[in-house]
Structures are given as C-alpha cells and as structure tokens.
Amino acid sequence: MKLSNLQRLLAGAGLLLAPLFAQHSLAAPVKGADVSWTSQIEDNGYKYYNRSGVQKDVFAIMKEQGMTAVRLRVWVNPADGWYNGTQDVVAKARRVKAAGLKLMVDFHYSDTWADPGKQTKPAAWRNYTFQQLMDAVWNSTRYTLQAIKDAGVTVDWVQVGNETNNGMLWDDGKASVNMRNYAWLTNTGYNAVKSIYSGAKVIVHLANCHDNANFRWIFDGLRNNGAQFDIIGASNYPTNAGGYTWQNANTACLNNLNDMVSRYGVPVMITEIGVPWDHSQAYTIVKDMVTKVGQVSGGKGAGIFYWEPQARPGWQGYTLGAMDNNGKATAVWDAFK
C-alpha cells in the first residue's frame, strides 16, 4: 500500500496522530527480555532450564523470574529465509500471547543486524528512490504487524529502527548526511504502526545509553524535523562502555535518561542490557540498572529488557546471555524479581 500525498506531507511535518509532547500515564517499569533467538536455539536441539535446574519453556522461565514482556526483532528478507522474518516472528508472537506476556516488535529495516556501525538497506530496496524507500518502510511495517494482528496477538510497543545512533537505511536515512530524511522515515514507520495498532507505543532506539551527546543530537534533530516518537529506547551494556566502570556507565545512563525525560517530555526505556554470563558481579550490575530505571524522574522509566538471556555462552559468538554452559539460568535472572 502506498502513502497518499497528504499522508506523506503530514508525516514529514510531524502532524499525524500525536502532539509533540504527548501525555503519558505512569506505571511500574516493565521487565522483559529480547528472546528472538528462541526458535533457532530450539531448532538446534538446545533446552532451557530454570534456576532450580528444571527444564521449562523459555517463556515460562521468564514469568517465573518476574518478567512480563518479550521483545522480538524483525528482518525484511533474512538470508536463511526464516529466522527473524515475519512468519518466524508471528510463530513466536503466538507463544508470547499463550504465555500471557506483552510484546514489543523491533524493526531493523534490514535483512540482517542493524546497529550504530551498519544500517544496510534490504537488498530488494537497494536501488529505491527515497520516495520508494518511504513506501517500503510503510508497507513492510504494516505487513508484519498485520500478520501478527491476524494471529490474534496484541503489540504493545514497536521500535522503528534498531540502534539508530546515526539514522537508518544508509545512506538515504543517514542522520549525519540528511537528518530530515531520517525524520521522515521515522514518521513513516510511526504512522504505519499506528495504522495497525493505534494504541501501541512507538520507540526510537539508540545504543550507548551513557552517550548523552549522541542522544541529544539525534533527538534534537528528529524533533527539529517534525518526527514523532512515544518512548526513547536505549541499549546499555555497562561492561562494554569504553572508558567507564560498570558503575559509572549505569550512572551516566540514568543521567542521560533523566535528561531525555526533561528535554523531550516522553518516557524512556532500556530496550537492551547484557553482561558477561560469568561476570562475578553480573547480578549486581543488572539489578543496579533495574533499580535505576525505577528512579527515572517523574516515574517515566518505562521498562528494561535483557538481550537474549536464554543464549548459552558462545551462541553465535554472544557471551552476554544468562545461561551457563548446561543451559541453566544464572543469577542474573533474579535481578528481575
């Protein structure tokens, strides 16, 4: 489905669906996890074991540990044709609903990982004009969300882009090249979300929660170009923050979150956190950040999500999960109780 000229104009001007400083009701921070690898891990024959060593479904373990929400990433055309594609996401979304958990959908707008160092267009979109790129964002967002809705699942939050510290869909949507384009792509995604799930909260997500200057640059740029967003999301990997102790990284992150609330008037959320699975202070580090989210000014700390806690050490090179080598949940999970 193509955007009408009026929709495009209003999207670019930031006039659809919400005022600049929308009012948000306050609630206790949501606790959850991104478990997008779940289907792939299971298909490789691995099992999950809770804190007592009992084999259980990953969503059951999440509930046991006080989590109430799941985050799932979406790729446009994944190389293997399935994992993180729309149908894989729908299958996992059904399980999320069956477990009684809330759902966040994270659009990367890529065929693979999107992060601060790479925001590669899907291969099928590579030669699109900017107008065609906006149409593709609109269509892709609506297609996946409609498929989830048709499966009878409610989506509570949607990320329009993943770790977009310098925009998305490079180079057209690269913020340092053309901030207006990035804002228009953001609004196109925002409006696509609202057209399927009018009550879903739309998140713009950046990495490096300790980097206040980057956050101000992006969100000032988005606001100055009429972009809309309901929540500011952040990744915080405290032990990976160069030049910071984990304590200083968490403190800088909280200071940044408070600045975002003050400056833009919207709630904030840690949509990714992770620590080395065998770190001697892993529980303490995560618990400290869970506590800090609850301390965000005005009660606007909306939640915190651990990134792929169900992954065993070394799964696809990732060592920040919360399972040991036997697939048993580590103490990190207790930080969410």
Question: How far apart are alpha carbons 294 and 107 in whole angstroms?
Answer: 26
Q: What is the DSSP letter of 19?
A: -
Q: 3-state SS of the chain: helix, strand, coil percent to 5? A: 40, 20, 45
Of 42, 64, 163, 308, the active-site residue reads 163
Tokens 């882009």, residue located: 161
The answer to whether the CB of 190 falls within 8 A of the CB of 159 is no
- Angle of helix 246-264 relative to helix 212-224, nearest 10 degrees? 20
Known catalytic residue at 308: no
Burial class of residue 4, CB neighbours in 10 A (0-12, 13-18, 19+): exposed
The answer to whether the CB of 45 falls within 8 A of the CB of 84 is no
Among 90, 103, 235, CA closest to 162: 235
Of 42, 64, 272, 308, the active-site residue reads 272
Question: How far apart are alpha carbons 8 and 15 in whole angstroms?
Answer: 10
Phi, psi of 231 (to 5 degrees): -140, 145
The answer to whether the CB of 47 falls within 8 A of the CB of 325 is no
Residue 78 neighbours by CB under 8 Å, 6+ apart: 84, 85, 111, 112
3-state secondary structure at position 72: strand
The answer to whether the CB of 103 falls within 8 A of the CB of 93 is yes
The answer to whether the CB of 210 falls within 8 A of the CB of 192 is no
Question: How far apart are alpha carbons 298 and 160 in whole angstroms?
Answer: 25
Tokens 């929540």, residue located: 231
The answer to whether the CB of 330 falls within 8 A of the CB of 48 is no
Catalytic residues: 163, 272
